[in-house]
């Protein structure tokens, strides 16, 4: 059986890539994609721990399913917001979306 540390390392790497994407990419769509990566890294973690710590129960899987649902909802809302912003301001660059500043 593959040791759990591998999964964790993989998950951490995936999370870091996602985080980097969120922080570094200008394109809002890319930021959303980064967020997806981070969420899925969490899912990998959940599943890994479930498998190693309490495979007889389904709690880890249930969590993972809830995270999927949340991620789907979040993407739907996020994309809708970006489309709306694009229509008004003709851009999806995160730098230029600074309406919330002082």
Partner 1 sequence: MSTELLIWLIPLPPLLSFFLIILLTNRNKGISHTLAVGAAALSWIGSMVVIYRAFQMEHLRATPFASSIPWLPTGITWLRIGVLVDPLTAVTLFFVAWTIFMIFIYSVGYHNFGQPKGDHDKAGLPPHGATISDAHGHSHIIPSIEPMYSRFFAFLGLFAFGMYTLVVSDNLLTLFIGWEIMGLCSYLLIGFWYAKPSARAAMIKAFITTRVGDVFMLLGIAYLYASTGSLNYRETIYNPEVLHQLVQTPTGFLGLSAAALIGILLFIGTVGKSAQFPLHVWLPDAMEGPTPVSAMIHAATMVSAGIYLVIRIYPLLAAGMEHGQLTPPMIMMAIIGGFSALFAATIALAQNDIKRVLAYSTISQLGYMIAALGIGAYVAATFHLITHAFFKALLFLGSGSVIHGMEHGVLHTGEHVDPQDMFNMGGLRKKMPITFWTFLIGGLALSGFPIITAGFWSKDEILADAFAHQQWVTFFSLAFGALITAFYTMRQISLTFLGEPRSKSAAHAKETPWTMTVPLIILAVFAIGAGWAGIPRDFPLIGGVIPNWFHEYVGHSLIEAPETIQFNFIPLLTSLIVSIGGLGLGWIVYKQIGAGVPDPMQQLLGPVYKVLKNKYYVDEFYNKVFVQPAQWFAETFTYLWIDRKVIDGFLHWIAYVAGIIGNAFRNYIDKPIVNGFGDWVAETTKKLGSALRPIQSGRIQQYMILALVSIAAFTALFYYLLVYVR
Chain residues that interact with partner 1, rule: CB under 8 A = 19, 22-24, 31, 94-95, 97-102
CB of 76 to partner 1, least distance (A): 19
Identify which of residues 61 and 91 has a Cβ nearer to partner 1 in the complex: 91
Nearest to 27 by CA among 102, 101, 86, 84: 86
Identify which of residues 22 and 46 has a Cβ nearer to partner 1 in the complex: 22
CB of 53 to partner 1, least distance (A): 24
CB of 14 to partner 1, least distance (A): 17
Identify which of residues 56 and 98 has a Cβ nearer to partner 1 in the complex: 98
Q: What is the 3-state secondary structure (H, E, C) of the chain?
A: CCCHHHHHHHHHHHHHHHHHHHHHCCEHHHHHHHHHHHHHHHHHHHHHHHHHHCCCCCHHHHHHHHHHHHHHHHHHHHHHHHHHHHHHHCCCEHHHCCCCCC
CB of 31 to partner 1, least distance (A): 8
């Amino acid at each position: 059986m593959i040791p759990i540390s591998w999964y964790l390392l993989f998950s951490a790497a995936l999370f870091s890539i996602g985080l980097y994407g969120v922080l570094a990419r200008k394109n809002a769509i890319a930021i959303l994609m980064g967020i997806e990566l981070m969420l899925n890294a969490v899912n990998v973690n959940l599943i890994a721990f479930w498998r190693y710590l309490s495979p007889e129960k389904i709690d880890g899987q249930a969590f993972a399913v809830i995270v999927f649902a949340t991620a789907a909802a979040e993407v739907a809302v996020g994309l809708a917001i970006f489309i709306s912003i694009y229509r008004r301001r003709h851009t999806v660059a995160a730098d230029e979306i600074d309406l919330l500043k002082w």
